[in-house]
Amino acid sequence: MEIELKNISYFRDGKYILKNVYFKFEKNGIYTVIGPSGAGKSTMLKLINRLIEPTEGAIFINGVEYKNIDVILLRRKIGMVFQRPFLFEGTVKENIELGPFLRGEKNIDALFYLEAVGLSKDYLFKDVNNLSGGEAQRVSIARALANSPEVLLLDEPTSSLDPTSASIIEELIKRLNREGIMVILVTHNMEQAKRIGDYTLFLYKGELIEARKTGEFFENPISEVSMLFLKGKLKEMIK
């Protein structure tokens, strides 16, 4: 899938959250989106998922303006996982089946998706309240996978997890990408971006400052803002 952000801006409460951003996600890879808090990273994901509408500019999916694509279909093809897993009351199985169930599908192989995120069948009938943070996040990814997405938008999925759980999720992201799913990952964790990102987009005050191959960006940032950010010398420091 190809996603083109064509000069998009998002204006809210008297200020630009995103400003004139142009970028084309065209190759299957892991794109990490980094930048200080309030840079517009999560807003970018919400715009791609069409949870919000760009104030200016347009988004094209495989060359078609996404306003011309059925929004429900679009969201199934471009799945999104949030920082908090937001599992719904019930069992793991019920959560995984939710997406297909919403469009009237039954007989979903929940176990397939559960195993895809590295959890055993013992989890299938577990109450979601009895899951650890890492397990809950993996279930939320399995739930998104049950919609058979071509793209996964991940909004800081490991920020509240311990290092072991975070590492499991990172391995999962890499595997899903190898299996053909494009991943756009918002992260505050520079080391994570270096470890798993093929491409890195650096946002600052709503503007896309740099978008390059990850290795090149971290070794040789072009703009002064990027350099200061990587050295931790920007005013809005990363957490």
- Per CB under 8 A, residues contacting another protein are 12, 46, 49-53, 71-73, 75-76, 79-80, 82, 84, 86, 98-99, 102-103, 143-144, 147
Token reading at 30: 């892991």
Find the shortest distance in angstroms from Cβ 220 to another protein: 36
- Minimum CB–partner distance for residue 144 and another protein (Å): 7
The least CB distance from residue 152 to another protein, in Å, is 11
Shortest distance (Å) from residue 80 CB to another protein:
4
Between 19 and 76, whose beta carbon lies closer to another protein?
76
Closer by beta carbon to another protein, 144 or else 169? 144
Looking at the Cβ atoms of 109 and 219, the one nearer to another protein is: 109
- The CB-of-58 to another protein minimum distance in angstroms stands at 14
Q: Measuring CA to CA, how many Å separate 143 from each of 59, 187, 194?
A: 25, 21, 27
**CB-nearer residue toward another protein: 41 or 46:** 46
In the complex with another protein, the residue whose CB is nearer, 79 or 197, is 79
